[in-house]
């Protein structure tokens, strides 16, 4: 897919732990969680932006946005592109955040080594609640240090 990015938000103050993020939203997710709040991003199709557009936005706004959030859809269904964007953000010394429906044990170590914060777990409508970084109680946000996910009560 030449253009797997649905949207790029260069002033995101919601999908971030602290400060402002450049947020990259991938198109496509095979999980099809009932009640997904990003339902328009589920269908895998050609979208609005190429990976190079996302990388350019990360670079262009790095002076003010010290965070990069990668969301979707499902970013890990776009593994190579997600890894490339995470590596690019880390090369600029930016904080990286990844939202995925994968369980933590299914997130590749190569991805974890380039992530500072990760939200894991599929959305489950029957466990819906009002949480800061996720939508259902089975999901969890971790602080990742040197590729190892650490539980941080302030995030959950």
| pLDDT at residue number 2 | 74
Contacts of 62 (CB under 8 A, 6+ apart): 22, 92, 94
> Is the pTM above the cut of 0.85?
yes
Of 7-16, 27-36, 81-90, which gets the smallest average pLDDT?
27-36
31 vs 101: CA distance, rounded Å: 8
Contacts of 106 (CB under 8 A, 6+ apart): none
* Whether residue 23 has pLDDT greater than 90: yes
What is the rounded average pLDDT for all residues in the chain?
Answer: 87
| pLDDT at residue number 138 | 74
* Whether residue 63 has pLDDT greater than 60: yes
| pLDDT at residue number 116 | 97
Question: pLDDT grade, residue 56 (50/70/90)?
Answer: very high
Q: What percent of the chain has pLDDT over 90?
A: 58
| pLDDT at residue number 39 | 59
135 vs 9: CA distance, rounded Å: 20
* Whether residue 42 has pLDDT greater than 80: no
What is the side-by-side strand order in the sheet with 117-120? 5-12, 21-26, 67-71, 95-99, 117-120, 140-145, 148-151
Thinking of the domain 5-14+21-84+92-155, which architecture would CATH place it in? Alpha-Beta Barrel (3.20)
* Highest mean pLDDT pick, 26-40, 76-90, 113-127: 76-90
* Whether residue 109 has pLDDT greater than 60: yes
Domain extent listing, the chain: 5-14+21-84+92-155
148 vs 109: CA distance, rounded Å: 9
């Amino acid at each position: 897919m030449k253009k797997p990015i649905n949207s790029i938000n260069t002033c995101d103050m919601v999908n971030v732990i602290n400060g402002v993020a450049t947020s990259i939203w991938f198109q496509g997710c095979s999980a099809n969680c009932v009640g997904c709040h990003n339902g328009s991003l589920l269908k895998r199709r050609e979208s609005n932006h190429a990976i190079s557009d996302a990388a350019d936005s990360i670079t262009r706004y790095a002076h003010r946005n010290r965070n990069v959030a990668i969301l979707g859809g499902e970013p890990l269904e776009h593994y190579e592109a997600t890894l490339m964007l995470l590596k690019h953000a880390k090369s600029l010394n930016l904080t990286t955040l990844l939202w995925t429906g994968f369980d933590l044990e299914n997130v590749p170590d190569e991805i974890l080594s380039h992530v500072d914060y990760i939200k894991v777990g599929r959305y489950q409508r029957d466990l819906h609640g009002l949480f800061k970084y996720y939508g259902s109680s089975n999901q969890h946000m971790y602080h990742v240090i040197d590729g190892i996910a650490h539980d941080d009560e302030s995030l959950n």
